[in-house]
Amino acid sequence: MNKKILIDVIGLELIALVVIVGYKLSPMLLPKADVTVQPDPVCSLQREACSVKLPSGGEVQLAMGTRPVPLVKPFEVEVTTRGLSPVRVEVDFAGTEMNMGLNRPQLALRSDGSYVAEVSLPVCITGQMDWQATVLIETGSERVAIPYRFSTVEHNH
């Protein structure tokens, strides 16, 4: 009799654990945000750095260290913020047409106040690939997501 109760308790604890772990992992799979700010679609990351003004004040700029953005070769991604002091900055790279796996580097703070990480994007079989680079900024009070879209084209040498 006691064994049966013990098994039920262990079963319930396992279910609770799965729910908790699932909840903790869910932000890793899908960028969850309190505020999503759409960048100017005219601005092209392949040509320039793109800035967005946040509703709560402050500004965020995303720049690719290599333009146009290369495939397979590592390149630097840089986020600069004005008027806010983030506790965490990440950029989530996701294929818009095709799942290319989780590619979300956390950016490190540099002495000039910008946040930088080295990224390498996987090559797509078709050569051209549409991406969404979502800048995720945690300020302590809120989590802001800024989804930028860009395309990469494989250049055959």
pTM, two decimal places: 0.74
Question: Tokens 């899908």 label which residue?
Answer: 30
Apex 111 CA angle, 107 and 112, nearest 5: 90
Residue 98: which CATH number?
2.60.40.10
Same domain flag for 44 and 26:
no
How far is 131 from 95, CA to CA, in rounded Å?
5
Same domain flag for 54 and 25:
no
Per-residue pLDDT of the chain (157 residues; tens, 9 = 90+): 566 666 665 655 655 555 555 444 444 445 567 889 999 989 999 999 999 999 888 999 999 998 888 777 889 999 999 999 899 999 999 888 777 777 888 999 999 999 999 998 876 666 677 889 999 999 888 899 999 999 886 654 4
Task: Supply the pLDDT for residue 73.
Answer: 83
Looking at the 3D structure of the chain, how many domains does it have?
2
Name the residue range of residue 21's domain. 1-30
